[in-house]
Amino acid sequence: MNNNGYGFLPFYGGETGNVLSIVKDQKNRWTPAWYSGDPSTENPDARFPRLHYGSNQNNDKYSSFWIGNSRYLRLEEVTLNYNLKINALRALLGINSMDLQLVGRNLAVWDNVKIWDPEQADKNGYEYPIPLTVAFQLYINF
């Protein structure tokens, strides 16, 4: 905060060089029309390979195909502060100063992982995202 009675304080965080095992939209896979019975599934340019049923050993092999870039930048917290020093408050209520603050947490994330929160990413994707919160705070100094 500066001497003018107001302030702005941003906090941010992020990661670079992370490796994330992704499980994206698995419906974007190639399925021949003769197999599904639906011509709309014929997509040889699909992003994901077709899964195989039975004794095919390729379904559960490790592959760099499933590794993604998990770099991200998060705007973790922004605080807006205004300090009221009004002589009328001091004379009337005995208040020396009053601070009004608006605090926002987890306001934005810029990332390549669009399915879940990059800080809570796990191979199963069963994590809740970190919630966005906004709080108003009032500090009174008598």
101-113 tens-digit pLDDT: 999 999 988 887 7
Q: Is the pLDDT of residue 22 over 60?
A: no
pLDDT of res. 83: 87
Question: What pLDDT is attached to residue 120?
Answer: 72
pTM: 0.54
Q: Is the pLDDT of residue 121 over 90?
A: no
Q: Which residues on neighbouring strands pair with residue 105, listed in sequence order?
A: 77, 133
| Mean pLDDT (whole number) for 1-26 | 53
pLDDT tens-digit readout, 53-104: 666 666 666 777 767 777 888 888 999 999 887 777 777 788 888 889 999 9
Instruction: Examine the domain organization and report whether 78 and 126 are in the same domain.
Output: yes
- In sequence order, which residues have a C-beta less than 8 Å from that of residue 78 and are 6 or more positions away? 8, 9, 10, 11, 103, 104, 107
Residue 133 clears pLDDT 70, i.e. is over it: yes
78 and 138 inside one domain: yes
- One domain for residues 79 and 133: yes
Check whether residue 75 and residue 107 sit in a common domain: yes
Map the chain to HEC letters: CCCCCEEEEEEEEEECCCEEECCCCCCCECCCHHHHCCHHHCCCCCCECCCCCCCCCCCCCCCHHHEEECCEEEEEEEEEEEEECCHHHHHHHCCCEEEEEEEEEEEEEEECCCCCCCCCCCCCCCCCCCCCEEEEEEEEEC
Residues 116 and 104 in one domain: yes
- As for how many domains the chain has, the answer is 2
Read off the tokens for 3: 């001497």
Write down the pLDDT at residue 117.
Answer: 76
Whether residues 77 and 134 fall in one domain: yes
Mean pLDDT estimate for the chain? 71
- pLDDT of 102 reads 94
Say yes or no: 84 and 116 in one domain: yes
Range of the domain at 40: 21-68
